Amino acid sequence: MTDFHALTANPAYEKLVSLARQPFDLSQKDVLNSKRLSSYVSYSQGWQFFYGTQRVDDAVLDALQELADESRVITNFQAMKAGEVINRIEGYESEERMVLHTASRDIWGNPAHPAASTQAAVEFDKLADFLARLASGNITNAAGKTFTDMITVGIGGSDLGPRALYLALAACRIPARQVHFISNVDPDDAAAVLKNLDLSRTLVNVVSKSGSTLETLTNEELVRSAFRRAGLEPQNHFIAVTGKGSPMDDPARYLRSFYMFDYIGGRYSATSMVGAVMLGFALGNNALHEILRGAHDIDLAAEEPDIRRNIPLLMAMLGIWNHTFLKHETLAVLPYSQALIRFTAHLQQCDMESNGKSIDRQGNKLTWQSGPIIWGEPGTNGQHAFYQLLHQGTTIVPVEFIGFRHSQYQNDLTIKGTTSQDKLLANLLAQSLAMAGGRENDNPNRCFAGNRPNSILLADRLTPYAMGALLAIYETKIVMQGFVWNINSFDQEGVQLGKVLANEIIAHMAARHKDKNYQGADGDPGWLMLKESKC
Selected binder of ligand G6Q within 45, 54, 65, 208 (CB under 6 A): 208
Beta carbons of 401 and 430 less than 8 angstroms apart = no
Q: Could you tell me the strand order of the sheet in which 238-243 lies?
A: 178-182, 149-153, 202-208, 238-243, 256-260
Taking the least distance from each CB to ligand G6Q, the nearer of 102 and 492 is 492
Taking the least distance from each CB to ligand G6Q, the nearer of 12 and 116 is 116
Residue 438 lies near ligand G6Q (rule: CB under 6 A): no
Question: Across 290-329, where does the E strand assignment appear?
Answer: none
Residue 210 lies near ligand G6Q (rule: CB under 6 A): yes
- Measured distance CA(33)–CA(36) in Å, rounded: 6
- Measured distance CA(195)–CA(238) in Å, rounded: 18
Binding mask 358-397 for ligand G6Q (x = CB under 6 A): ----------------------------------------
Residue 10 lies near ligand G6Q (rule: CB under 6 A): no
Residue 492 lies near ligand G6Q (rule: CB under 6 A): yes
3-state secondary structure (DSSP) of residue 32: coil
Residue 158 lies near ligand G6Q (rule: CB under 6 A): yes
Taking the least distance from each CB to ligand G6Q, the nearer of 52 and 157 is 157
Residue 177, exposed/middle/buried by CB under 10 A (0-12, 13-18, 19+)?
middle
Residue 44 lies near ligand G6Q (rule: CB under 6 A): no
Beta carbons of 339 and 168 less than 8 angstroms apart = yes
Annotated catalytic residue 353: yes
Residue 319 lies near ligand G6Q (rule: CB under 6 A): no
Beta carbons of 329 and 372 less than 8 angstroms apart = yes
Stretch that binds ligand G6Q, among 156-164, 280-288, 365-373, 470-478 (CB under 6 A): 156-164
Annotated catalytic residue 296: no
Residue 272 lies near ligand G6Q (rule: CB under 6 A): no
Taking the least distance from each CB to ligand G6Q, the nearer of 155 and 167 is 155
CB 492 to ligand G6Q: min, Å: 5
C-alpha to C-alpha distances, 113 to 16, 23, 116, 445, nearest whole angstrom: 36, 42, 6, 58
- Measured distance CA(95)–CA(433) in Å, rounded: 44
Taking the least distance from each CB to ligand G6Q, the nearer of 205 and 492 is 492
Sign for the CA dihedral angle at 491, 497, 498, 504 comes to positive
Any residues with CB less than 8 A from the CB of 180 and at least 6 apart, and which? 149, 150, 151, 152, 193, 197
Taking the least distance from each CB to ligand G6Q, the nearer of 216 and 421 is 216
Catalytic-role residue among 353, 357, 400, 477: 353
CB 496 to ligand G6Q: min, Å: 10
- Greatest alpha-carbon pair distance for the chain in Å reads 77
CB 156 to ligand G6Q: min, Å: 2
Stretch that binds ligand G6Q, among 85-93, 197-205, 264-272, 517-525 (CB under 6 A): 264-272
3-state secondary structure (DSSP) of residue 332: strand
- Closest-CA residue to 363 (of 491, 496, 498): 491
Element at 238 (helix H, strand E) = strand 238-243
Annotated catalytic residue 493: no
Helical segments of 356-463, H only: 387-392, 420-437
Nearest-Å Rg of the Cα atoms of the chain is 25
* Interface with ligand G6Q in residues 451-470 (CB under 6 A): none
CB 29 to ligand G6Q: min, Å: 47
Sign for the CA dihedral angle at 360, 366, 368, 373 comes to positive
Stretch that binds ligand G6Q, among 1-9, 149-157, 161-169, 450-458 (CB under 6 A): 149-157
Residue 216 lies near ligand G6Q (rule: CB under 6 A): yes
Selected binder of ligand G6Q within 95, 220, 353, 360 (CB under 6 A): 353
What DSSP line would sit under 163-179, residue for residue?
A: HHHHHHTGGGS-TT-EE
Residue 42 lies near ligand G6Q (rule: CB under 6 A): no
Beta carbons of 450 and 25 less than 8 angstroms apart = no
* Total residues in contact with ligand G6Q, by rule CB under 6 A: 14
Taking the least distance from each CB to ligand G6Q, the nearer of 155 and 298 is 155
CB 208 to ligand G6Q: min, Å: 3
Taking the least distance from each CB to ligand G6Q, the nearer of 213 and 488 is 213
Residue 155 lies near ligand G6Q (rule: CB under 6 A): yes
- Measured distance CA(123)–CA(117) in Å, rounded: 10
CB 361 to ligand G6Q: min, Å: 18
- Measured distance CA(423)–CA(412) in Å, rounded: 11
Residue 156 lies near ligand G6Q (rule: CB under 6 A): yes
CB 301 to ligand G6Q: min, Å: 24
Selected binder of ligand G6Q within 111, 161, 234, 266 (CB under 6 A): 266
Element at 50 (helix H, strand E) = strand 47-50
- Measured distance CA(475)–CA(455) in Å, rounded: 17
Active site (catalytic) residues: 353, 384, 499
Q: Which residues bind ligand G6Q (CB under 6 A)?
A: 155-158, 208-210, 213, 216, 265-267, 353, 492
